Structure 1
Amino acid sequence: MAPRGGLSVPTNGVLGHSLRVPTTNTELVRALSRLRREALISIVLQWLDKKHRDFCRPYLYADHDPDDAENEHLEYDPPAQGLEELKEVYEGYQRGKGSRKEVVDRVLYGDWRHGISLYQLAMVEERLLLEHPTSHKWYGKRLVRKQDKEPGVEPSDYTDDFPRFQVATFLQSLANRLAPLMKAHYYFTRQKNMHKGMGLTLLRVFMHDSPYNTEQSLQDVQPQVSGGSNTSKAVWVAFPDSSPFVYLSISTSPGQRVGSEVLSLQKLLYDAVPHALSKPFKRYEFQDTKLHTRSLEALLSLRGSGGSNAAPGGWSIFVDNKLNQNTLDFGINPPSGDAIKKSKPPNPDSTHDGVDKENNSRTTKRGRRDAVLDDAEPAESPASKRLKQVAEGRFGNSGIVGDGMTLERVEVRIDDAFPANVVSAALDEEDIQTPIPAARKSKAHGRPSRPSELDRPADDLANTPGAGSADWRPDVRVTFYGSHVFAGIRQLVEKGVVDGERMPGWMTGEAGVSIGVVKDGKIRTRKNNV
């Protein structure tokens, strides 16, 4: 039954779990349609479980009003008599009856025709997050003490003193911070063994730009048309166990656009998270780690409880602690010959059980046939073996598909001075000395694009010498993108396209960042930045 109209009073309360979103909501239909059939049926059965029934109540026969104009023409059979009967229906779907579209239509226009609660929507998006791990872009942030003038605290006392995370206390503080600014629905979930036994506490915040916390205010939660965007948006915040890092995400699903209103709400949320973790005389703030990726597994590897020491690349061989020797003596006391000695393949002409070599004529033809097959597959050349050894020495156990350190995009700015003897004196100094504006005009839309994190500050641009100076630094940027950037670079080293011996260390992923400034062959980092 549709909610009745009534008096709505602005309040500071949060959006409750049982508030319903209409089934005509485009985001809701898209989310249910993206789920696999098995996952969709599994979620519906969870809704009908006893511990979820209070917030996931379906439309039953007791709710049916034949006099209601909305129920004059029903596309489905009469509603189920009870929850157990409805549970049997979806168990029948689980046994292979019906298509996914049929299940989605029954959920939206049959058993939950009165709307899907915010609690149900959160469960659907949680399953989507786990089934489509690259659907969100994650930003790694580090919690650091805010170095304000606190009484009795010296600057040297700002050590790695991190707050204790308690869900109830954090949620209450966060809600009090955001309640006067927007209405939000909060959903906590716990994920164990996300990567090598590491766990995560996930918080979903459904932000709604409205002063009311009623169902009537949720009736207008619809994406705008003709280039607009929805003013309600869900954001995920991940808290890894025993780690000073926090992961923030926004959805990057195809077809979704984020407007200025949503960006403002997200900025309010991002500023409120460290404030909710603070307490009197212990204030915290976020510090960017220069790591942006769509893989939660990569964040846990590089910014987790055991991966904050930036040990990818060739140093990754020491991470697993599988060496049979002291790490400090590596290269001084090499392994014994027996440890690296390869087993010699058996000779096909050798004797066995006293049989003489001359009596092995039966296997002569088979041996020749095997020799022809071996000749068909060309043996690996010494040069190719050398390239693979160089790649293994530079990358170690990293740079392999499935290593858990997937970065889809890496951007760097080369900040080294350009060699003065290469600069031509015929270049026009006025064109070179003209600073590059931070916000470039977009030809497609005619509006200034968002400034890049790699743009030099205005003071740096003003002090940049001309082309005739030995300290001239041109604006050179390098961008790598693909399914796994460093795995692709390792393959290029193995093919000889990239010189693995002269390649700088940041190209192996040793810095553990996705954006940075390179100077003297190294990515510059600040204290406590990674």
Structure 2
Amino acid sequence: MEEAVSAKMELEDRLIPYNDRKFVLRKLLRLPLTALGHLVIHWASKYGVESRSGFARIQASVETLQKRRVKRRILATRIILDYWPRGMYLYQLAQIDCYLLVHRPSLHYWASSTAWNAKNEKQIMHLDFDNFVQRLKEDLQTLYLCNVHSFKHPEMPLLICRVQLFDHSNKFRADPARSLDGSSSLNAPIEHQLISRSPYYIAFPLNSPNIIHSPDEDSYAKLILQSVQKIYSEREPVMLRPNQTIAVRSLEALQILQGASRHSSALGPWACYAGVSFEISPLGKIERHESMRGRRVLSSSGDLPDDSLPEAKRLRHEKAMVRFKGSREGVMKRKAYETKRFIQRIHNPDKEPSASADESEINISKYSSLIPVEKVEFTLTKDLSPASRQVSVRFKFRGKDVFGGLHELCDKELIQVEKVPGWLAGENGADSGTIINGEFINCTQKGGLL
């Protein structure tokens, strides 16, 4: 395997690094059976298999297992023990990680950085992606053994790089002490001399000045981001500045916040402006306009007769929906459609969509936010009077969907929706901040540029 390492410290895709079989098996078991089948067929056509079975036989076997809907462990075990018993190639390991990133998006945390040019303006990063990946390889190879795998996300407008750096094991870099049989430990195969670092991911939204990346802050992560900055600066000098301190688990949420999306600047009660639903179409019926037909409002007096209670409840729920989601319809139908499409395209690509299936089959709560925020902090600061000192109250929220939970509490009348400020309704997305006399100020990370 020495030929798998070039003079530029590049690790070829066909290198078989040392890996614990149980560790690889656990990764394979996280993928659905359809994804495992696609990977096996692709790998068999690209590299062949080490068993006596030919490609046609492997393909037929995989299709049979998928039709029988066997447990994924059966196919995963065959991959490890029958098809590639000597170990998985670097290319295969990279593809497993990338498939996991798509099929199990909640396994990773994400941060983001913004490119700023010499005029202190955000610089949209237009990339020749293939050339960029090649230049990234060449730059990193001057310092470390590395492997770079890139792909386009099948559901989101993202170009993603998986970068893995390798070190030589210390036991092979020590004094060349002789082993029991008199041979030097430096003669060990290259795959046994390498220690792999955790893969680092970089996602490039289209037409955006931001990049999304793993939240690691060690020297290896800084080296990779510096290399990205250096390569892009060959066209126009830029600096990468980190955007936030709290990592986000949802890649989709960060893509909306940092990508070329109208929703990045219109969240919570302002979401109707991102969806252009704040006004009727110029071709719509003018008599349906709110200014013509009027609008029913909920009386705050509470003196409502019993027969109007269902209507009052509906109006109260509509008010909360507009406050947190920006429209009376909310985002439930949109999220149900996107979830159904994701399942169809990613988990069941070979299955014909059912005509009878609809969004109601997808279990989406009406309180679900377009961008679920898991943790956010606010510091409320206010001057009570000129004579008294400043008072500060700190709020820490944790959960699967913080603002969705607050929305539900409003529907249960545990919170008065009329008194919910915009920063508590999610208009600032995942950003934490300080509220001084009612004005939200974003918390920015201290420190300079990379």
* Interval of TM-score (by shorter of Structure 1 and Structure 2): 0.7 to 0.9
Q: Give the aligned residue type for 1:191.
A: H
Change (3 A) 1:271 1:414: farther
| Structure 2 residue runs without a partner (length 5+) | 174-186, 283-287, 297-306, 332-365
Shift of 1:123: 1.4
Count of residues in Structure 1 that have an aligned counterpart in Structure 2:
378
Partner of 1:111: 83
Shift of 1:248: 0.8
Mapped contact 1:139–1:249 kept (Cα < 8 A)? yes
Q: Distance between the aligned counterparts of 1:25 and 1:269, measured in 2? A: 28
Q: After the TM superposition, which residues 94-133 of structure 1 pair with which residues of structure 2 at under 5 Å, given as runs?
A: 94-96=66-68, 98-133=70-105
1:487 aligns with 2:445: no
1:246 to 199, 211, 220: 211
Give the share of equivalent positions with the same residue, in percent: 23
Shift of 1:416: 4.2
Q: After the TM superposition, which residues 472-511 of structure 1 pair with which residues of structure 2 at under 5 Å, given as runs?
A: 476-511=393-428
Shift of 1:17: 1.1
Partner of 1:219: 192
- SS at structure 2 position matched to 1:172: helix
1:203 to 150, 158, 161: 161
- SS at structure 2 position matched to 1:294: coil
Query: Who wins on radius of gyration, i.e. which is larger?
Result: 1
1:184 to 122, 141, 146: 146
Q: After the TM superposition, which residues 407-422 of structure 1 pair with which residues of structure 2 at under 5 Å, given as runs?
A: 407-416=373-382
1:13 aligns with 2:9: yes
Q: Distance between the aligned counterparts of 1:379 and 1:129, measured in 2? A: 50
Q: Distance between the aligned counterparts of 2:120 and 2:107, measured in 1? A: 37
Shift of 1:243: 1.2
Mapped contact 1:301–1:404 kept (Cα < 8 A)? no
- SS at structure 2 position matched to 1:35: coil
1:384 aligns with 2:313: yes
Mapped contact 1:245–1:303 kept (Cα < 8 A)? yes
The two structures have a TM-score, normalised by structure 1, of 0.62
Q: After the TM superposition, which residues 375-454 of structure 1 pair with which residues of structure 2 at under 5 Å, given as runs?
A: 380-381=309-310, 384-395=313-324, 396-397=326-327, 401=367, 403-416=369-382
Q: Give the aligned residue type for 2:378.
A: V
C-alpha deviations, 1:231-262, integer Å up to 9, x for none? 52112111111111111125xxxxxxx9xxx9
Q: Distance between the aligned counterparts of 1:221 and 1:517, measured in 2? A: 47
- SS at structure 2 position matched to 1:45: helix
Shift of 1:34: 1.4
1:32 aligns with 2:23: no
Change (3 A) 1:118 1:177: same
Q: After the TM superposition, which residues 20-419 of structure 1 pair with which residues of structure 2 at under 5 Å, given as runs?
A: 20-22=16-18, 24-49=20-45, 53=46, 56-60=47-51, 79-80=52-53, 82-96=54-68, 98-145=70-117, 147=118, 157-194=119-156, 199-210=157-168, 216-219=189-192, 232-249=197-214, 263-279=218-234, 282-289=237-244, 292-307=247-262, 310-325=265-280, 335-338=290-293, 380-381=309-310, 384-395=313-324, 396-397=326-327, 401=367, 403-416=369-382
The structure that is helix-richer by fraction is: 2
Q: Give the aligned residue type for 1:34.
A: R
Shift of 1:15: 1.8
Q: Distance between the aligned counterparts of 1:35 and 1:385, measured in 2? A: 43
Change (3 A) 1:7 1:277: closer
- SS at structure 1 position matched to 2:59: helix
Q: Distance between the aligned counterparts of 1:205 and 1:379, measured in 2? A: 61
Shift of 1:340: 6.5
Q: Distance between the aligned counterparts of 1:415 and 1:209, measured in 2? A: 49
C-alpha deviations, 1:13-67, integer Å up to 9, x for none? 2221111134634432221121222321221112223xxx1xx33214xxxxxxx
Q: Distance between the aligned counterparts of 1:206 and 1:18, measured in 2? A: 15
Shift of 1:336: 4.5
Mapped contact 1:289–1:513 kept (Cα < 8 A)? no
Shift of 1:312: 0.8
Change (3 A) 1:281 1:91: closer
Change (3 A) 1:186 1:418: farther
Superposition RMSD in Å: 3.7
Q: Give the aligned residue type for 1:179.
A: Q
- SS at structure 2 position matched to 1:21: coil
Q: Give the aligned residue type for 2:207.
A: S
Q: Distance between the aligned counterparts of 2:8 and 2:368, measured in 1? A: 46
Mapped contact 2:115–2:209 kept (Cα < 8 A)? yes
Q: Give the aligned residue type for 1:513.
A: A
Mapped contact 1:140–1:291 kept (Cα < 8 A)? no
Partner of 2:359: none
Q: Distance between the aligned counterparts of 2:150 and 2:191, measured in 1? A: 21
